[in-house]
Amino acid sequence: MNHLLTILEQTDIRFPGLKIVLRSIGDGFHVFGFRIAYYGVCIGLAMVLGYLLADQVAKRTGQNRDLYLDFTIIAVILSVAGARLYYVIFNWKQFADNPLSVFNLRTGGLAIYGGVIVGVLTAIIFAKVKKLNIGQFLDTAVLGLLTGQIIGRWGNFFNRECFGTYTKSLFAMQVDVRDVSGWFNPNTPVAAVYNEFGNRTTALERVLKIRENAETIEGATYISVHPTFLYESVWNLLLLIILLILTKRKRFDGEILLLYLFGYGLGRLWIEGLRTDQLFLFGTSIAVSQLFSGLLVIGSAAIFVRFWRKNHKKKATA
Q: Do 280 and 190 sit in the same domain of this protein?
A: no
Report the pLDDT value the prediction gives residue 9, as an integer from 0 to 100.
61
- Which of 236, 288, 277 has its CA nearest to residue 259? 236
Question: Domain boundary at 209, 225, 241, which?
Answer: 225
Position 177 pLDDT exceeds 50: yes
212 shares its domain with 83: no
More confident residue, 108 or 69: 69
Q: Are 263 and 242 in contact (CB under 8 A)?
A: yes
Q: Residue 107 burial by CB count (10 A; 0-12/13-18/19+): exposed, middle or buried?
A: exposed
Q: Are residues 25 and 95 in the same domain?
A: no
* Span 105-114, pLDDT tens digits: 665 677 888 9
Query: How far is 89 from 49, CA to CA, in rounded Å?
Result: 30
For residue 220, the model assigns a pLDDT of: 94
- Looking at residue 6, its pLDDT comes to 45
- Are 279 and 305 members of one domain? yes
pLDDT one-digit tens code per residue, 197-240: 877 788 889 999 999 999 999 999 999 999 999 999 999 999 99
The domain boundary residue, chosen from 206, 225, 244: 225
Shared domain for 84 and 199, answered yes or no, is no
Residue-level pLDDT at 286:
80
Residue 262 has pLDDT above 60, yes or no: yes
**Mean pLDDT score, 141-155:** 95
- Decide which of 180, 198, 225 is a domain's last residue: 225
Residues 232 and 221 in one domain: no
Nearest C-alpha neighbor of 141 from the set 54, 61, 53:
54
The dihedral built from the CA positions of residue 80, 280, 277 and 113, taken in this order, carries a sign that is negative
Instruction: Measure Cα distances from 149 to 50, 112, 221, 235, 252 in Å.
Output: 9, 8, 31, 10, 25
| pLDDT of 279 above 60 | yes
- Given this model, what pLDDT does residue 7 score? 43
Q: 191 and 307: one domain?
A: no
Do both 101 and 141 map to the same domain?
yes
Helices (H), 213-287: 228-247, 255-272
| Opening angle at CA 183, ends 178 and 188, nearest 5 | 80
Write the CB contacts of 148 (distance below 8 Å, at least 6 apart in sequence). 46, 47, 49, 50
> Same domain for 73 and 219?
no
| Res 96: pLDDT | 75
SS3 111: coil
| Mean pLDDT of all residues belonging to the chain | 89
Q: In this model, does residue 94 exceed pLDDT 50? A: yes
* pLDDT tens readout for residues 95-138: 777 777 777 666 567 788 899 999 999 999 999 999 999 999 99
Element (H, E) at 11: strand 11-15
User: Is 231 found in the same domain as 113?
Assistant: yes
Tell me, yes or no, whether 50 and 123 share the same domain.
yes
Res 4: pLDDT: 42
Q: Please return the burial class of 44, using the count of CB atoms within 10 Å of its CB with bins 0-12, 13-18 and 19+.
A: middle
Same domain, 191 and 280: no
* β-sheet bridge partners, residue 13: 22, 175
Structure confidence at residue 20 as a pLDDT band (50, 70, 90):
very high
pLDDT for 284 = 72
Q: Which residue would you say has higher pLDDT here, 268 or 281?
A: 268
| Cα dihedral 310, 312, 313, 317 sign | positive
User: How many distinct structural domains can be found in the chain?
Assistant: 2
Look at residue 302 in the predicted model and tell me its pLDDT: 97
Answer whether residue 49 shows pLDDT above 70. yes
Percent of the chain predicted with pLDDT > 90: 65
What is the domain extent for residue 178? 5-32+165-225
